[in-house]
Amino acid sequence: MDLISVIIPYYKKKEYIISSINSVLNQTYKNLEIIIIYDDLNKKDLNLLKKIKKKDKRIKIYINKKNLGAGRSRNKGIKLSKGVFVAFLDSDDLWKKNKLKKQIFFMKKNGINASHTSYTIINSNNKIVGSRNAKDMSYKLLLKSCDIGLSTVVLKKEIITSKIKFANIKTKEDYVLWLKITFNNNKIFALKDNLTKWRKLEDSLSSSRLQKIYDGYLVYRKYMNFNLLKSFGFLMLLSFNYFLKDIKNK
């Protein structure tokens, strides 16, 4: 049974982190390590995380000396990991208990290096407010719409390199990674099963539309090296598709 490294960046999610970690500890797939990257300069939540760490020897905590952001914190977690596979979980999201077992079986059976799953969208009170159905994602499809939930993704660690990694931007840092992975005719394959609960919070960075628009532009212009016109064209398409998805779940 291959080791899976579960990487969780932590920044001011005290009210959700225990449930998130428990959803990993309760997995039917047991050969895993949990790598928490503490990215808050305020250390007031460290005692809580250290108490959680005492529950299970598979939990490891690493403290950033300065705020790195979610993307670079995940990159640090990948470097520190020992697993054959890496999985990502935000500190307010949840996994169903058979998530890893089903996903690793799916990947091994089909000989693939990258996968994601369908997921449910929940609010701060755990109420279901929407859902997303996973589909096989190619580079061409991803350029138009980022239809991959970060907390659903499992990757073979070997595909992460110095050039294929999370970007150093406030939002959409994962979008850059998905584009880099799929660039050379690769795909991120879909397991249709709904195995994750993604939490949508109104005060989160991911809910800031202006920040998303700016970072979306950086994805195309800075990280994909598109010219100005092409960058704005894909940004408009990305924003339109996001708007359609947002309307669908209201």
Bridge partners for 15 per DSSP: none
Mean pLDDT, the chain, rounded, equals 94
The whole-number pLDDT of residue 248 equals 65
Pair of tokens at residue 216: 């979306």
Answer whether residue 204 shows pLDDT above 70: no
DSSP letter, residue 31: -
Pair of tokens at residue 111: 């000989």
Answer whether residue 24 shows pLDDT above 70: yes
Q: Which residues contact 52 (CB under 8 A, 6 or more apart)?
A: 17, 18, 21, 59
pLDDT per residue over 97-153, tens digit each? 999 999 999 999 999 999 999 999 999 999 999 999 999 999 999 999 999 999 999
Chain position carrying tokens 């598109």: 226
Beta-sheet pairing, 114-122 with 189-199: parallel
Burial class of 243 by CB neighbour count within 10 A (0 to 12, 13 to 18, 19+): exposed
Q: What is the pTM of this model?
A: 0.94
- Stretch 9-31: mean pLDDT: 97
Answer whether residue 208 shows pLDDT above 90: no
pLDDT per residue over 140-181, tens digit each? 999 999 999 999 999 999 999 999 999 999 999 999 999 999
Answer whether residue 186 shows pLDDT above 60: yes
21, 89 Cβ separation under 8 angstroms: no
Taking CB atoms within 8 Å and a gap of at least 24, the contacts of 157-162 are: 157/5, 157/78, 157/81, 157/83, 157/84, 157/85, 157/86, 158/113, 159/113, 159/114, 160/78, 160/86
DSSP letter, residue 206: G
- Cα–Cα dist 20/27, whole Å: 11
| 4-248 topology per CATH | Spore Coat Polysaccharide Biosynthesis Protein SpsA; Chain A (3.90.550)
Answer whether residue 207 shows pLDDT above 60: no
pLDDT per residue over 61-86, tens digit each? 999 999 999 999 999 999 999 999 99
